């Protein structure tokens, strides 16, 4: 995933450099090119592709907060039934 993002950033940077160094180009045009072809698409792509990892980390944190670090289901009595207590 990151290799594609690095390659895309390189291409966008080269496009911006070509725009800035062109006789008809401007620095503002290079900045807009870098922003619209590089920063915005890459940030959107990395956000979308990072969703499964964020979800996995959030579930792991919730599981650890509940005291269930192993990721297994907790043993709870069925609904409607009271837990039995042994009297000593």
Top pLDDT among 87 and 27 is at 27
- Between CA 40 and CA 60 the distance in angstroms is 30
Chain segment 11-57, per-residue pLDDT in tens = 999 999 999 999 999 999 999 999 999 999 999 999 999 999 999 99
Top pLDDT among 30 and 69 is at 30
Q: Is the pLDDT of residue 61 over 70?
A: yes
Per-residue model confidence (pLDDT) at position 21:
95
The SS3 assignment for 21 reads: helix
Task: Answer yes or no: are the C-beta atoms of 19 and 25 closer than 8 Å.
Answer: yes
């Amino acid at each position: 995933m990151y290799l594609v993002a690095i390659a895309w950033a390189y291409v966008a940077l080269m496009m911006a450099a070509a725009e800035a160094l062109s006789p008809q180009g401007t620095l503002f045009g290079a900045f807009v090119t870098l922003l619209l072809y590089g920063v915005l698409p890459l940030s959107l792509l990395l956000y979308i592709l990072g969703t499964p990892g964020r979800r996995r980390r959030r579930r792991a944190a919730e599981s650890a907060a509940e005291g269930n670090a192993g990721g297994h289901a907790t043993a709870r009595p069925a609904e409607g039934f009271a837990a039995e207590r042994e009297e000593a």
